[in-house]
Chain A
Amino acid sequence: MPKSLKDLRPVYVVGVGWHRYQRLSGTPYVSLGLHAIRQSLADAGIAWTDVESSYMGTGYLGMAPGLPMLRYLGATGRHLVHVENASASGSAAFRHACIEVAAGMADVALAVGVDKPETTRHPVTGLSSLANDAIAFFTHYALLMDQYAQEHGAKPEDIALVAVKNLYNGSLNPNAHRQEERSLDEILNGRKLSGWLTPLQCCPVGEGAAAVIVASEDAIKRLSIDPDRAIRVAASAACSERSGLDWPVDVALTQVTMADALQQAGLKPQNVDVLEVHDAFTIEEVQYAESLGFCKPGEAVHLLKEGAFNIGGKMAVSPSGGLIAMGHPVGPTGVGQIGEITMQLRGEAGLRQHKGAKVGLAHMIGNGPMCYAHILQKP
């Protein structure tokens, strides 16, 4: 039988760091990444020489951009691998860093995401399509929104409340791309992109970096890391699409992946205090909260209206601001979610603190789609 993370030796997040997500600028990616990594090392209270293995999630920086950045942390010459998995590149980097530590092949590993997005180059498969060149990401999700709205009688202006909440959360987050609170009217009155989607219901794609250090219990003792600030990685689940899933596949895939993660951790949907999802578009957050099993299909919009997903509500969803406010620089996004949940479970999230948070789930979808779910738990 294959093992899950929980069957191997325990892995903990011990350090987190960011470079703010922001509009593309002249800042080299090297500066962005080094800033986040140094912050994560300082947060863990360890040195670069203590890190035995590095996983770098990135989608746009070209072939093997890691060493031209990591070399400025000092001459260690340790293992480095690059992970490209579309929007889930950072989540994949984190998963593999955890697996290496859990397997006992390293005591301390770094997962770092860095990116400066440009135009996406899609794979050339040799097959043509009826209209794929006319279906941008926002149209893919406008179609999901229409399907959801018609199935459940949901109003588009209610779904847009996701953006109101997440932009508010982002206004409390110094690392967020968008830090300005917006009213429902401002959000709805933006330029129409596709279906009901306006720009503030879609994530900004800019530059940034996020870093997370994971460590074994041995390393926590040996390096005198504060065990009270170490957060257990309780589950790691990952799937990719297969033919035959119900439409929309993003939702079907999320159900399977989140259920696997909950099963691994021995938890129920209602145990999740903090949820960070791939809310690149408002409709996604509503659907993935239902995919988690936190409520029945069609109920999430009502919970959203009641404030159940606010910080301080029943379950804080996207307390970082989510992709809509925190931003979606691609490589960093999945790593940054782990950082936010770690801060929440430590009780160090400041103005964004969801009181008493003990369990957090990070969910990410990469175009494909590939899906990830990680559960973090306060020991």
Chain B
Amino acid sequence: MAELLKPDLYAQDGTTSAPKHPSLKGGKCAHCGFVFFPLQAYGCEVCGQSGDCLQPFALAGSGTLIASAKVHAYTPDAKAVAADVKPLEAPFVIGTIKLDDGPTIRTLVTDVDETTLKRGQRMMSKLVPVGTGARTIVDLRFIPAS
């Protein structure tokens, strides 16, 4: 079984609407219905309610591309790289994606020819290996839906 690099942000299991794609660990406010990512217990960003109002809500790993950028210049912060994980290297692609369940996220996009990425492109989540050693560590990416 693979280890998740950021288990607080996503899970292997999908949702009913996107069963084959890892879900994102969001939250929903029981008071006003606001859906947010990532899950937090500080308070609702819309109505300000806190406590039991903020419930975990699995967000489908599917959405629509708003924008993308290929990053050419990047120096990883050595202190921020986890043990046994290969540091991110430029070039890589960042996408702004509006999730079908509401929140807009910015995330790494993989398996793409960035010159053909257009807004409105359907995007799906995927776990990709990022480990260097014997442990199998995976992290979340988005890819264009085929």
Give me the interface of A with B, judged by CB distance under 8 Å. Answer: 127-136, 138-139, 142-147, 150-151, 191-195, 242-244, 247
Q: Is B3 an interface residue (CB 8 A)?
A: no
Q: Is B132 an interface residue (CB 8 A)?
A: no
Most interface-central of B76, B107, B118 (chain A CB within 10 A)? B107
In the complex, what residues of B have CB within 8 A of residue A145's CB? 69
Give me the interface of B with A, judged by CB distance under 8 Å. Answer: 6, 8-9, 34, 36, 38, 40, 45-46, 66-74, 76-77, 80, 88, 92, 94, 96, 98, 104-108, 118-119, 140
In the complex, what residues of B have CB within 8 A of residue A142's CB? 69, 71
Knowing A147-B96, A247-B104 touch, does A128 contact B6 (C-beta < 8 A)? yes
In the complex, what residues of B have CB within 8 A of residue A132's CB? 106
Contact between B68 and A134, CB atoms less than 8 A apart = no
In the complex, what residues of A have CB within 8 A of residue B38's CB? 127-129
How many residue pairs between the two chains, A and B, have CB atoms under 8 Å in the bound complex? 86
In the complex, what residues of A have CB within 8 A of residue B71's CB? 134, 136, 139, 142, 193-195
Lowest 4 CB-CB distances: which A-B pairs, in order?
A142-B69, A195-B69, A147-B67, A243-B45
Sample (30) of A-B pairs whose CB atoms are under 8 Å apart: A127-B40, A128-B8, A128-B9, A128-B38, A130-B6, A130-B106, A130-B140, A131-B108, A134-B74, A134-B94, A139-B71, A139-B94, A142-B69, A142-B71, A143-B69, A143-B94, A143-B106, A145-B69, A146-B67, A146-B68, A146-B69, A147-B96, A150-B67, A150-B119, A193-B71, A194-B73, A243-B34, A243-B46, A244-B46, A247-B96
**Residue among A131, A146, A150, A242 making CB contact with B106, cutoff 8 Å:** A131
CA distance A29 to B38 in the complex (A): 40
CA distance A243 to B33 in the complex (A): 13
In the complex, what residues of A have CB within 8 A of residue B40's CB? 127
Most interface-central of B88, B106, B119 (chain A CB within 10 A)? B106
CA distance A128 to B8 in the complex (A): 8
CA distance A135 to B80 in the complex (A): 14
CA distance A235 to B94 in the complex (A): 38
Contact between B80 and A134, CB atoms less than 8 A apart = no
Contact between B72 and A133, CB atoms less than 8 A apart = no
In the complex, what residues of A have CB within 8 A of residue B98's CB? 247
**Residue among B34, B70, B94 making CB contact with A135, cutoff 8 Å:** B94
In the complex, what residues of B have CB within 8 A of residue A247's CB? 66, 96, 98, 104
Closest to A193 in B: B73
In the complex, what residues of A have CB within 8 A of residue B9's CB? 128-130
CB distance from A246 to the nearest CB of B (A): 10
Contact between A194 and B108, CB atoms less than 8 A apart = no
Q: A139-B71, A191-B73 are in contact. List 5 more A-B contacts (CB 8 A).
A: A133-B77, A134-B88, A135-B94, A193-B71, A193-B72
CA distance A39 to B143 in the complex (A): 56
**Residue among A134, A136, A150 making CB contact with B118, cutoff 8 Å:** A150
Knowing A130-B6, A130-B9 touch, does A192 contact B72 (C-beta < 8 A)? yes
In the complex, what residues of A have CB within 8 A of residue B68's CB? 143, 146
